[in-house]
Structure 1
Amino acid sequence: MDQPVQIDGSELEGGGQILRIALTMSVLKNKPIQVFNIRAGRSRPGLLEQHLKGVELMKDLSNAYVKGATLNSTIIDFHPKILQGGRYRAPVKTAGSITLLLQVALPCCLFAKEVSELELHGGTNTEMAPQIDYTTEIFKPNLEKFGATFDFDLVRRGYFPKGGGKVLINVTPVKNLKPVTLLNQGQIDKIYGWSFVAGVLPLKMANVMADAAKNTLQCLTNNIKIECYKEDHDIAPNNESGIILVAETDTGCILGSSALVKRGEQSEFTGKKAADSLLKSIRQGGCVDEFCQDQLIIFMALADGNSRIKVGEVTLHTKTAIHIIEKLDESCKFKIVSDGISNIIECIKKS
């Protein structure tokens, strides 16, 4: 076997993102890797249930040889073989994030030999990860600018701590990805979103969140519509409450934010927190928000040509994605140019 590329999981973000990006690039570039110090920057280092299922999913997708893929392991060897499509299942038994499972698998599925059908279990709306609604309403349309997409079916929502969510993902492969240039945020055209409660929580909580968000964002536009609703008990039987916000501009930019009500937190605070996050992204002049920018880095690297995207503050997750991608793909180089309070991230493809 070829000597694996060494990836230090304690660098930069120091969490699961390093493992996810490394696995994805390993499969796409057919390069063996060894990831050590896995999640060294977290209070519970090593592979948790959701990370282990991500490794197993990528093993199945690429028929890889894997060593060290056990719970709490801090080092794995991963040697991919042939990237293939087909039907795969990742049954996370905890509330581990379904959207993070999708993050690791989606780029590979887009370049697989056939259509991929993923059955993902775990948490759909959890802290420290994009809510499934953010992924479908904000990330997905930004991905489509590259000429790729995915279909999804939300079967059941899963919340912390029980999980139990189920999402079906269908991905049709593409021949190539288009480079993108997103440099002009433009003017806010409209803001919309969803404020929800589930389980036994009262609808009033959703209304309070929505009102707080509207009051915070009305300085941008009067065209704000936030739907308040209670989840169907058959789809979401457990307690949860949260909000997802989307802003569209007249130049086609789509930015967003989301938040879940934490224990002991007032609904009004949650709604304002989500709105403040969106307001910050917009005022920094970015064409994508702070939670989407790092997710697009890998598609910039995979596109046929140079891409340029204007963002606000460059996040640690974005810097981490760039670092790992450059380590595993010598065909691209990233450059960040400051433009006052905003930054332009450029991916330059070597000829």
Structure 2
Amino acid sequence: MATQAHSLSYAGCNFLRQRLVLSTLSGRPVKIRRIRARDDNPGLRDFEASFIRLLDKITNGSRIEINQTGTTLYYQPGLLYGGSVEHDCSVLRGIGYYLEALLCLAPFMKHPLKIVLRGVTNDQVDPSVDVLKATALPLLKQFGIDGESFELKILRRGMPPGGGGEVLFSCPVRKVLKPVQLTDPGKIKRIRGMAYSVRVSPQMANRIVDSARSILNKFIPDIYIYTDHMKGVSSGKSPGFGLSLVAETTNGTFLSAELASNPQGQGAAVLPEDLGRNCAKLLLEEIYRGGCVDSTNQSLVLLLMTLGQQDVSKVLLGPLSPYTIFAASEELFPGYV
């Protein structure tokens, strides 16, 4: 195992993805020890190993060393290269787990990134591709990351545990980010949503829409929730359904909430009516929390502000999530958390 005096040293598996992303952006190698050392099944999980392989594909010259038990990782980042890439994600986590990292890295590559990711598009753990498309992409455009080649497209949907989804993400290169002033969220002017169903009756999506509207119609008239029922090879390998909602304000702020059904064979069956009502309540809670960025993208906006020019950027956030608190600490004081 290689050791270097100038590498940052950490212990434990918490925030491993964020540490590797920041290491790649800063060019500083990291060594992470005692990864689940006391677990019955110690070491890196499959989804973490898949994420490390993804970093290796989008960089050139990275050096990765893992000990025999998987409990120690040394990562020396290479050049962010980009280009056309394909990657099969672990079905233990959603594609959003990998996309969140790519949104941080893609603008700073040598060549524009065009990547196809395969796996789970919607689950109960990670942000869905629908929510990232509706909230993270407009946020990146505020920083000047835009163009015809900037898109996120769902080619196939995939639900856990089987997956089978496919997503295309392409992003242009931007060497300099624009400063932003996001201090007034504005008033809610419209709500949009996507109710999806795969390998179940199309009526599931319609029932979700009716139940969500029964709550949201009390607050605002401009509501449109699309239904998306994919068939055949486009529907992935497992049945499921869910809903993602996005509220847009008069000042261009996007606040999101989402829910998905339990994976096949896991937990109790979920009624579409209950899922729709609960998702609508989660959106109202997100609106109540306030801020110009929703909870999902707090760490992304803080990272982009850190990587921007010396001009002062300002953003108004609601209550910080634990992940955001860590991310901000790592960006400002690397190695102290």
Q: Same fold (TM over 0.5)?
A: yes
**Residue equivalent to 2:204:** 205
Q: 1:105 deviation in Å?
A: 2.8
| Counterpart position of 1:224 | 223
* Residue 322 (structure 1) aligned with residue 328 (structure 2): yes
Matched, 1:279 2:287: no
Q: Secondary structure at the match of 1:35?
A: strand
Aligned to 1:151: 151
Aligned position for 2:306: 301
Displacement of 1:198 in angstroms is: 1.0
Alpha-carbon distance between aligned partners in 2 of 1:49 and 1:190, rounded to the nearest angstrom: 40
Contact 1:8 1:37 in 2 (8 A): yes
CA distance in structure 1 between the partners assigned to 2:291 and 2:233 by the alignment: 39
SS at structure 1 position matched to 2:73: strand
Overall identity of the aligned pairs, in %: 27
CA RMSD of aligned residues (A): 2.5
Residue 25 (structure 1) aligned to one of 15, 22, 26: 22
Q: 1:327 to 1:300 in 2, by over 3 A?
A: same
Report if aligned partners of 2:194, 2:225 keep a CA contact under 8 Å in 1. Answer: yes
Distance 1:68 1:48 in 2: 12
Q: CA deviation at 1:93?
A: 4.8
Q: Is the 8 A contact 2:93 2:125 kept in 1?
A: no
**Any conservation in 2 of the 1:50–1:101 contact (CA below 8 Å)?**
no
1:320 Cα deviation (Å)? Answer: 1.8
Q: Report how far residue 69 of structure 1 moved.
A: 7.4
- Aligned partners of 1:42 and 1:98: how far apart in 2? 26
Q: 1:5 corresponds to which letter in structure 2?
A: L
2:97 matched to which residue of 1? 100
Q: CA deviation at 1:244?
A: 1.0
Aligned to 1:5: 8
Distance (whole Å) between structure 2 residues aligned to residue 194 and residue 253 of structure 1: 18
User: More displaced, 35-44 or 47-56?
Assistant: 35-44
Hey, what's the Cα distance between the residues in 1 that align with 2:6 and 2:324?
A: 27
Q: Which residue of 1 aligns with 2:265?
A: none
Q: Secondary structure at the match of 1:268?
A: helix
Aligned amino acid, residue 243 of structure 1: L
Report deviation, 1:296: 2.4
Distance 2:40 2:144 in 1: 39
User: Which region of structure 1 is more displaced relative to structure 2, 242-251 or 90-99?
Assistant: 90-99
8 Å CA contact 1:205–1:267 kept in 2: the answer is yes
Change beyond 3 A, Cα 1:188–1:93: closer
Q: Output the amino acid matched with 1:96.
A: R
Letter in 2 for 1:3: H
- TM-score, normalised via structure 2 length: 0.87
C-alpha change, 1:193 and 1:265, in structure 2 (3 Å) is same
8 Å contact kept, 1:38–1:46: yes
The aligned residue for residue 128 of structure 1 is 125
Task: Return the offset for 1:2.
Answer: 4.7
Show the counterpart of 1:139: 136
2:208–2:275: 8 Å Cα contact kept in structure 1? yes
Give the CA deviation at 1:126. Answer: 1.4
Residues 217 and 326 of structure 1: CA distance in aligned 2, closer, same or farther (over 3 Å): same
Q: Is the 8 A contact 2:159 2:240 kept in 1?
A: yes
Cα deviation for residue 54 of structure 1 reads 1.1
Which whole-Å CA distance do the structure 2 matches of 1:196 and 1:43 have between them?
38
Spell out the pairing of 1:35-114 with structure 2 (5 A cutoff): 35-38=32-35, 46-60=43-57, 61-68=59-66, 73-114=70-111
One-letter amino acid of the structure 2 residue matched with residue 8 of structure 1: A
Q: Following the alignment from structure 2 to structure 1, what is the Cα–Cα distance between the partners of residues 279 and 36? A: 27
C-alpha deviation, 1:235, in angstroms: 0.9
1:160 corresponding residue in structure 2: 160
SS of the residue corresponding to residue 127 of structure 2 reads: coil
Question: 1:249, CA displacement in angstroms?
Answer: 0.8
Letter of the 2:226 partner, please give it: E
C-alpha distance 85-50 of structure 1, shift in aligned 2 (>3 A): same
Instruction: Measure the CA separation in 2 of the matches of 1:133 and 1:69.
Output: 37
DSSP 3-state at the match of 1:109:
helix
Q: Which runs of 5+ in 2 are unaligned?
A: 263-267
Partners of 1:245 and 1:209 lie apart in 2 by: 12
Structure 1 counterpart of 2:195: 195
Q: What does the per-residue CA deviation read over 1:17-67, in whole Å, with 9 as the maximum and x for residues that have no partner?
A: x12211111111110111234468999764222211211221231421111
**Structure 1: 5+ residue runs without aligned partners?**
331-351
In 1, distance between residues paired with 2:40 and 2:230?
33
Distance 1:180 1:218, change over 3 A: same
Q: Distance in 2 between matches of 1:4 and 1:157?
A: 40
> Structure 1 residues 322 and 9, CA, compared in 2 at 3 Å: closer, same or farther?
farther
How many residues end up aligned between the 2 structures? 322
The alpha-carbon deviation at position 109 of structure 1 amounts to: 2.3
